[in-house]
Each structure stands twice: as C-alpha cells, then as structure tokens.
Amino acid sequence: MNIYKATVIDKMHHLDLGLFKHQINFTCSLLKEKYEASILDTIDNRLANIPRFPELKIFKNSIQLLARITANKYRNLMKFLKLHSWVYHPTDLIKKYSCLNGFSTETYESLHKDFVKTLYYLSNKQNIEDQIMKMVQRQAIASKLLSRNPKNSKTINPFKFTNLIWTFDLNNAQEFIDQRLKNYRPNSKIYSGLEHLLKYLTIYFSSTNQINIDNYIINIYSSVTLENGSIIRATDNFYGKAWYSNVAVAMNPEELLEYLTDEGICYGQIYLLIKVETAEGNVDNLALIR
C-alpha cells in the first residue's frame, strides 16, 4: 500500500506552514552560501520598497528573521515570492480529492478560536458551557439584525476624508498653487497634480453646469476611507515614503470610445484627493487620476 496515497496532507500544517518555511530557510541558506549574507539585506530592502497597497503587508522584522510562521504571515509572503510554483507534491491528491480546504485543520482551529476560546476568556469561568452558548446565541441574533438591509436606509457619509493638507479659496487658487509648486520636484506626482488641478476643475465645473464658482473652497487631503473600509492615499510622505494608490475606474458609457478599457474598466493612479465646498454649502468629492 502506498501510504502517501492513503492519507491526505493537512493543508495548513504540512503544506502551507511546514513546507513553505522550509523553502524560505533553504533558499536563504543557498543565497548566503553563494552571495554571502549581504544578499538577504538586499532582498529585505527590495521588499520594503514595494509600494503600499490595501491588504498587502510589509514585514517589520525582515524575511530572514522568520522564526515562527503563522497562516496569516504565509498568505502575505505568498504575495511577494512566487515559491508556490514549487508546491507540486499535492497535485495528485488534488486530482483525486479535489479542493484540499476541507482537509485542513485551519477551518476547525478558527472555529474553535471564534466560538470557544475567545468566549471562554470573556466568561467568569463559572458554568462555562451555559455562558458560551448564550454568547453564541447573542452573536447570531446580532449578526442577523445587522445583515438586514432596510429599503429606506441611506449611506450618510460614503467617504471619510482625513489628513487635510491644504485649504484655499478658488479665487486665489493660481497664486496659492504657484507658491506650493516651488516646494516640489517637477517630476513628482504631487507637482503634476497641482499643476493640472485648475485645468481639470474647470472641465468638471463646465460639465456639471456650475457657473457661479466664486468663493468656492478647495480642500486637499492625503487620504480617504471608502464605504467598504479601503483607504486611498495620495501623499509624498507616508512614514517617509510616497504613497499614491492605484485604482480601477468604471467608465461612463459615453466615454468608452475615448479610452482603451478592459471591459469598461480603466486603471489609474490617484494624484490628488479633493473636496470642493460650494457657496451654497454643497460638497463635491473629487479625485485627480492619471
């Protein structure tokens, strides 16, 4: 009997964590042997220079200091290094049993943590089973109530702007912008955004039939939180590094012929995050995208 065909590997412990950590250590040892230890510092520097992106984690302790790798660390590492192409061992098992997720102890460990361990720490350690069952019941009721979507519900603040950089009056905008441009390199993104700001604001106001734009206030922010929790940034200094978020834009049907699109989607980079306050008290949330 072939023991390897008679059992199914535990995806989390034997494949994700155990094998991958061995690959990392093995690769680091080979690199140090051929190029000396300094090559690992080069790898860490390259990882640190990767632009920030939502759900992409940059490791603080560097890849060479991974003493104990968790499932979350594994998923983040897999976004950088394409070592998953080495994982060919479970191919036959996948062909035979299909997806291996059902054979992973990660599913049951996460259930144990969410529905037993966490609730145990919240209890007073008296009549534990009764307390845990009541807390699970309350969580289920709360989740059911929160998942309801009333027809008349409205989103009050779909965008939350944070970290105000500048505020200026539209009447004096050109003078203000000229002064700020002196502080930035001509090839920087913020320089390009400020340089073209008035041009595209004029186009926007014309397209929305806003004629009387006297006393409009322009606010420039470095970040905005969207309704789904994602954070978009446009700044030259986020912990010492520039961060200009990449975005996907669903184009209007009238504009599809003016751009090369991917099934109606264009991709760009945020250069400025703008909030325009009109004289009537209205607010326009805008972004300058290239």
Tens of pLDDT along 133-152? 888 888 888 777 777 655 55
Where does the pLDDT of residue 221 fall: very low under 50, low under 70, confident under 90, or very high at 90 and above?
very high
With pLDDT > 70 as the criterion, what percentage of the chain qualifies? Answer: 69
Q: Which two tokens mark 240?
A: 């010492």
With pLDDT > 90 as the criterion, what percentage of the chain qualifies? Answer: 8
List all residues 6 or more positions away from 217 whose beta carbon is below 8 Å from its beta carbon.
Answer: 167, 168, 169, 170, 276, 277
Where does the pLDDT of residue 240 fall: very low under 50, low under 70, confident under 90, or very high at 90 and above?
confident
Where does the pLDDT of residue 61 fall: very low under 50, low under 70, confident under 90, or very high at 90 and above?
low
pLDDT, position 103:
66
Higher pLDDT pick, 80 / 28:
28
| Predicted TM-score of the model (pTM) | 0.47
State how beta strands 231-238 and 283-289 pair: unpaired
**Report for 6-15, 47-56, 88-97, 206-215: range of highest mean pLDDT:** 206-215
Average pLDDT over residues 200-207: 85
Is the confidence at residue 189, as pLDDT, over 80?
yes
Q: Where are the domains of the chain?
A: 3-103, 105-147, 160-289
Is the confidence at residue 23, as pLDDT, over 60?
yes
Residue 219 · residue 161 · CB < 8 Å: yes
Average pLDDT over residues 17-35: 77
Higher pLDDT pick, 110 / 162:
162
Q: What is the mean pLDDT of the chain?
A: 76
| CA-to-CA separations, 29 to 14, 22, 37, in angstroms, rounded | 21, 11, 9
pLDDT, position 219:
92
pLDDT, position 67:
47
